[in-house]
């Protein structure tokens, strides 16, 4: 996870953070009026961008996603939940980057996100779904913990609001942007020193697997608990929660979130010579 902080020492990566943040915010702001949950979330076609930014620009895309979302919050939804929104949108882009580099879904030694083969297209869909779910898990856990919005409502809406644009719009956007970004030498693999680029070794794969389990179990487990807490299945969890939320839902989603974050530290970085 050291690349998350070491990238700030590279001018190109810092510039990419600013560009990603500005673009993401610029696409978020016009849709602030299409509210889904007042003061919390809205219709977000801009959700097509974080996964693309994470795959193209690595940690710079993740920081840009987080900062861009925070900027967007200043135009209608800024509040204590924005803290969880910051981390959630960072994860939205960072998890796909980790999936792509560490899980071994793409051919060994070929980390560039040129989704021109069925294998890479499938890897993109998996990365987008897990990134969307990781974002939903983090934000929904935080707001359930604060008793602001029930987990089942927010966790479901964010997951759908993120994953659909990421796949339907994000995949063609990536196919259009990749050759241009590659031509301009702005891929994270072109900027980050080769020795610091991740290699899918044993520990990184274990960490990636642990990350996936944490995301799936945390998001789905908390959702099932929320829906089954003495409420009807089709609308359970969409009513106002208590002051501190449901203990079981908070515990399940909290464990999933903590497990996901810990997995980032397990996923180690190898040397280019190990490829």
Question: What digits encode the pLDDT tens for the residues 42-89?
Answer: 678 999 999 999 999 999 999 999 999 999 999 877 888 899 999 999
- pLDDT, residue 271, reads 42
- Per-residue pLDDT at 255 exceeds 90: yes
The confidence score (pLDDT) of residue 275 equals 40
Residue 193 has pLDDT above 80, yes or no: no
Cβ(136)–Cβ(219) below 8 Å: yes
Give the pLDDT confidence of 110-152 residue by residue, as tens digits: 778 988 889 899 999 999 999 999 999 999 999 999 888 889 8
The pLDDT confidence band at residue 199, using thresholds 50, 70 and 90, is low
Query: In sequence order, which residues have a C-beta less than 8 Å from that of residue 18 and are 6 or more positions away?
Result: 64
Does position 1 have pLDDT exceeding 90, yes or no?
no
Reported confidence tier of residue 234, pLDDT bands at 50, 70, 90: very low
Strand 41-42 vs strand 35-37: parallel, antiparallel, or unpaired? antiparallel
Look at 230 and 226; give whichever has higher pLDDT. 226
Which residues have C-beta within 8 Å of that of residue 126, sequence separation ≥ 6? 99, 105
For 49, residues 6+ apart whose C-beta sits below 8 A from its C-beta are 20, 23, 24, 27, 65, 170, 173
Q: What is the pTM of this model?
A: 0.88
């Amino acid at each position: 996870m050291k690349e998350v902080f070491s990238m700030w020492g590279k001018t190109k990566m810092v510039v990419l953070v600013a560009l990603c943040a500005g673009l993401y915010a610029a696409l978020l702001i016009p849709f602030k009026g299409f509210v889904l949950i007042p003061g919390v979330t809205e219709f977000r076609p801009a959700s097509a961008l974080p996964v693309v930014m994470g795959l193209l620009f690595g940690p710079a895309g993740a920081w840009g996603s987080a900062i861009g979302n925070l900027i967007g919050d200043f135009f209608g939804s800024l509040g204590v939940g924005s803290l969880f929104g910051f981390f959630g949108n960072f994860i939205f882009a960072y998890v796909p980057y980790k999936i792509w580099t560490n899980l071994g879904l793409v051919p060994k030694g070929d980390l560039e996100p040129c989704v021109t083969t069925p294998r890479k297209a499938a890897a993109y869909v998996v990365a987008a779904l897990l990134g969307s779910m990781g974002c939903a898990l983090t934000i929904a856990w935080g707001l359930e913990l604060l008793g602001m919005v029930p987990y089942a409502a927010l966790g479901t809406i964010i997951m759908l609001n993120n994953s659909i644009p990421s796949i339907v719009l994000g995949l063609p956007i990536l196919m259009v942007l990749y050759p241009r970004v590659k031509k301009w030498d702005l891929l994270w693999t072109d900027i980050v020193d080769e020795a610091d680029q991740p290699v899918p070794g044993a520990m990184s794969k274990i960490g990636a697997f642990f990350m996936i389990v944490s995301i799936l179990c945390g998001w789905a487990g908390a959702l099932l608990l929320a829906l089954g807490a003495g409420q009807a299945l089709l609308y359970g969890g969409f009513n106002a929660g208590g002051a501190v939320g449901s203990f079981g839902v908070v515990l399940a989603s909290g464990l999933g979130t903590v497990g996901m974050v810990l997995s980032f530290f397990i996923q180690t970085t190898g040397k280019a010579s190990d490829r």
